[in-house]
Amino acid sequence: MKKIAFLLILMLLIFACAANNTPYEQKLQLWIGQPESALLKSWGRPTVQKIMSDGQTILSYIKQNEYLVPTEYFYDYPGWLDSDIVYDPFFSEESFAPYAQIADTEIEETCQTSFMAQNGIIQSYKFQGNNCH
């Protein structure tokens, strides 16, 4: 009975780990055991490459996108105490030149994916960021 309970718990843990794999992680998993040269051919030159003292190679690929979303524009005449909003990108299609802008909203998307190779073979990977796919 204990063996069956142990096997059931083991199977649940295996399925739980498999369920947490994202499609991106599944793509990366395919590189384990592949030659480093194949990764370089497919992904290109890494953003950062470091050779460790024990002979391991770390290949890191970093992608970053920044977007500016315009906010409201207003009449900007010296001496005016009040400013009327004349452009709002989400509610208006009016032209905003030659008005001043209050501020932009910056959206940044990043992903850093690193592979560790030993003797020219990919052994592991790691990734982090909000734009890994």
10-residue block means of pLDDT along the chain (133 residues)?
59 53 90 97 94 93 80 52 49 49 70 95 94 90
Q: What is the pLDDT of residue 65?
A: 86
Q: What is the pLDDT of residue 99?
A: 46
The two structure tokens encoding residue 52? 């460790």
Q: What is the pLDDT of residue 1?
A: 62
Q: What is the pLDDT of residue 116?
A: 96
